[in-house]
Structure 1
């Protein structure tokens, strides 16, 4: 089923889609079948694919395999997707997340965003109003923390504000981060 949204005019860079395959190494055949069922028969990391097909593939994987796998896909994004140069800290990684998102999507249509706001020395708020699943966004944030873990910090807490969730029809998910 193809989405009838502005995302139908948007494409996703294949390296980002590759994270889906890498995260589900143990289910590669299943992922390839899901992608093929949405028109991505042979994934080439250097090509661009319709965002609607990628989102429909995410929906199927979420239904068939579950949210933990969707989080694992998010965890694989930073090592697959294109990111701007000069990232050297967790905060700069979070600040650059929206730019990286736009580097991996092209075309006309509203793709949403990632908005970072520092709320304290060791805390922040991230607003995600993109069409990807919550668990995917949380996986990206966790991967960035793992890669750029601040000195003296041993764990990242991601608290999903229950009042705001795309699963229940909200425009955005809001996460409170503490490290």
Structure 2
């Protein structure tokens, strides 16, 4: 008697999953159309039916990471029971944690040179997140001026900390536990850096 049939996911989803696996294992440069096809176990021409270009495939892969990232950060920003400053620091910690756990996906998600106008409607995910960040910044400053440069500057600071930590660049600065690791004393350093950044931009 035959066992239960194992259903394969739809082809498009199968290709995206294969791309995510390659990305996380070997980085952006490994995610080519042929490599994704081999990983998915399909013909080399199969991806072209779903992704007209290499960039559109990368955009679809990036979308999965952005969805995961937004799913973690937006609830932190939306928690009205927590003071704005704490929400900004906590969301910054989530930002650093994602960059630490999934460095290749984090790298791809921020490669606007590759993803801009490549499809997957990524801005429908990122713009609401930026709007949430801006709302919390404005709440934290209690200001009447819609100062978007303040929000952009804070985001740039948090992103810079995440990139430096992800690249282990803080090891070049002696004398403090490096925030490259998100546990123990490194986590305390990361939170202290985030607190400095938040306070500088809320002042």
Q: TM-score, normalised by structure 2?
A: 0.30
Instruction: Name the structure with the higher helix share.
Output: 2
Structure having greater relative contact order (Cα 8 Å, sep ≥ 6): 1
Larger radius of gyration: 2
